[in-house]
Amino acid sequence: MKNWREEAGQRLDHLLKDVVPWVLQRYDPESGGFYFAQSAARKRSYPPDIESTAQAINILSRSKALDMLPRQALIRFFQERQQPDTGYFYDPHPLMKQDEVMVHRALNYAVNSLRRLGGSPLYPLPVQQRQAPSYAFSLEDYRAKWEQISLVNSWRGCDLLASSMVYVAEMDAEIQSIYVQAFADYLAEKQDKVTGLWGEGSMYVRISGTFKLHTFYRKYQIALPNQGKIYQSIWDCLHNEIAIDMCYIRNPIDLLSYLNVHVSEQTLEEVVKMTIDNMEQLKQADGAFSREIGHSVKAPNVAQVKADESYPGMPAPVELGLGLAEGDMNATTQATLIHQRLHQIWDKEGRLNQ
């Protein structure tokens, strides 16, 4: 008789069985990059973009399928998008530069992808060229930057906070450690000690914001504070809110995989089954996954803030697709990460830790 882990593993494998073929079909040999969704390939105004290409590389790498594509073409894709006079990486979309999070994510994605592919940037990065924002050169100014970021919508605000740390990655180790500690201290001040979360919004919005900050803690191997409170908030959220976005499914699991807390076998089984049930709601007929129930999103850069929510100074939408009932690269890479994290969690015999 199968145990629940075997059954869950088979369900996950079945859900993801068409993902690699779907990703390969999104490849554009002319540019060496990947489209966000099938609908993007139908419109010249939606060319392959940096995030989708980096996410496709991540998916194929996890699936041991990256060698199916020419690495030099992938390397060239990122290198051609680096600006020689600033060191930043930009997509052709004219609105992309207006979204601070997109700019930071593109820099991080491009540098990491080039490293994974065995390539490197053609030009010095923004900090080296003194083209980064002024706050990147002063701890006092960095702190002021964090202070001016609103957390009225935790997901968007914490994304701004976490992505601002992209410049710290360029610093020498000794200086970097000072900035890392300062950011950890700042976050500890801002954390809600009752819930363990940051900022405002629905529970899924606050958990998603906490997930964004957890990427900082994971990168620098720092323990999240108040882990028991975070775990309880995740448990409450899973039982009381509907996961309408793939991020709402992935973010709690990524947090759980980093927590050092004990859970019962029954609880672990329930969390895993709920997660897979939620994933099934976002599986599309083309074999991949959509960001939201029933459809993809047109502009993932603004999809964090839903129609009934708001955030000050939201950038213009950077459309990458038509928002149809189709899989998209953003949701699909998250599905493969859920698969990876769930195996990490249940292979620990019920103990959640990194």
What is the rounded CA–CA span in Å between residue 161 and residue 317?
A: 20
- Residues 13-71 pLDDT 10s: 999 999 999 999 999 999 999 999 999 988 777 999 999 999 999 999 999 999 999 99
Please report which helix (H) or strand (E) contains residue 275, including its range: helix 265-280
For 216-229, b/e burial (b = at least 16 CB within 10 A) is: bbeebeeebebbeb
What is the rounded CA–CA span in Å between residue 317 and residue 207?
A: 23
| pLDDT for 354 | 33
- Residues 73-116 pLDDT 10s: 999 999 999 999 999 999 999 999 999 999 999 999 999 999 99
Check pLDDT > 90 for residue 322. yes
Least confident of 130-134, 315-319, 342-346: 342-346
The residues facing 292 across adjacent strands are 245, 295
Mean pLDDT of 320-348: 92
> Comparing 261 with 1, which gets the higher pLDDT?
261
Chain centroid to Cα 253, Å, comes to: 13
Please report which helix (H) or strand (E) contains residue 345, including its range: helix 329-346
Kindly indicate the confidence band of residue 348, based on its pLDDT and cuts at 50, 70 and 90.
Answer: low
- Residues 154-206 pLDDT 10s: 999 999 999 999 999 999 999 999 999 999 999 999 999 999 999 999 999 99
Q: Which contacts qualify for 300-307: CB closer than 8 Å, 24 or more apart?
A: 300/36, 300/51, 300/328, 300/330, 301/99, 301/101, 301/102, 303/245, 304/153, 304/155, 304/156, 304/159, 304/208, 304/247, 305/153, 305/155, 305/156, 306/244, 306/245
Check pLDDT > 70 for residue 119. yes
What is the rounded CA–CA span in Å between residue 5 and residue 293?
A: 26
What is the rounded CA–CA span in Å between residue 337 and residue 210?
A: 17
| pLDDT for 351 | 39
CB 56 within 8 A of CB 34: yes
What is the rounded CA–CA span in Å between residue 59 and residue 62?
A: 5
DSSP 89: B
Check pLDDT > 60 for residue 1. no
Q: Which residues contact 57 (CB under 8 A, 6 or more apart)?
A: 66, 74, 113, 116, 117
For 286-296, b/e burial (b = at least 16 CB within 10 A) is: bbbbbbbeebb
Check pLDDT > 50 for residue 350. no
> CA distances (Å), 86 to each of 82, 127, 163, 176, in order?
8, 9, 18, 21
- Calculate what percentage of the chain has a pLDDT beyond 70: 97
- Residues 262-281 pLDDT 10s: 888 899 999 999 999 999 99
- Residues 120-166 pLDDT 10s: 999 999 999 999 999 999 999 999 999 999 999 999 999 999 999 99
For the chain, strand residue ranges (E) read 27-28, 33-34, 261-262, 351-352
The residues facing 352 across adjacent strands are 261
CB 251 within 8 A of CB 207: yes
